A = this chain, B = another copy of it.
Amino acid sequence: MKKDSRLSSVLHALLHMAERDEPLTSDELALCMHTNPVVVRRTMGYLRDAGIVSSARGHAGGWAITADLKTVTLRQLHETLGEPAIFAIGNKQEMPECLVEQAVNAALDTAFAEAEALLLDRFAHVTLADLAEDFARRHRLRSH
């Protein structure tokens, strides 16, 4: 399957929105994200429903951040996107009768659960404000 890049995409969009005061249109976001306006609306729709951004139609419409950058974590965004599957590797069958396969699943599930817990914990400790700050740092560095 193709990799899910929605989290990456919304982060990119949110940071660009944080850099500007006026709303950004789906077309503008699609341009800098190298994607399609409809995909932007579809994906950002999750964040609107969660109250993280607002959308407005008509003249001077578009997308804007409503939440505080310091309170929005990567984990929250991941959940807002519907908690898509993290791993591209998995069990052949989830509920096998075969005892051998049950032992295999148990071992793999344990390892995956630990890795997932670590990943989500890291996600929980990174906010949009952190990313904005890191971007600012990179911007200063490039200017020299």
Interface residues of A (CB under 8 A from B): 1-5, 7-9, 11-12, 15-16, 19, 32-35, 74, 84-93, 98-108, 110-112, 114-116, 118-119, 122-123, 126, 130-131, 134-135, 138-139, 142
Query: Once the chains are docked, how many angstroms separate the CA of A52 from the CA of B53?
Result: 53
Please tell me if the beta carbons of A103 and B86 are within 8 angstroms of each other in the complex: no
Please tell me if the beta carbons of A11 and B135 are within 8 angstroms of each other in the complex: no
How many of these chains are in the complex? Answer: 2
Q: Which single residue of chain B is at the shortest CB-CB distance from A35?
A: B92
Once A1-B2, A107-B126, A116-B115 are accepted as A-B contacts, the answer to whether A7 and B99 lie under 8 Å apart by CB is no
Please tell me if the beta carbons of B32 and A98 are within 8 angstroms of each other in the complex: yes
Residues from chain B with Cβ under 8 Å of A130 in the complex: 107
Residues from chain B with Cβ under 8 Å of A99 in the complex: 135, 138-139, 142
Please tell me if the beta carbons of A92 and B5 are within 8 angstroms of each other in the complex: yes
CB distance from A16 to the nearest CB of B (A): 6
Please tell me if the beta carbons of A98 and B12 are within 8 angstroms of each other in the complex: yes
Residues from chain B with Cβ under 8 Å of A33 in the complex: 92
- Known contacts A3-B87, A7-B108, A8-B92; 8 additional CB pairs below 8 A are A3-B88, A8-B90, A8-B91, A34-B93, A35-B92, A99-B139, A111-B122, A114-B122
Please tell me if the beta carbons of B88 and A9 are within 8 angstroms of each other in the complex: no
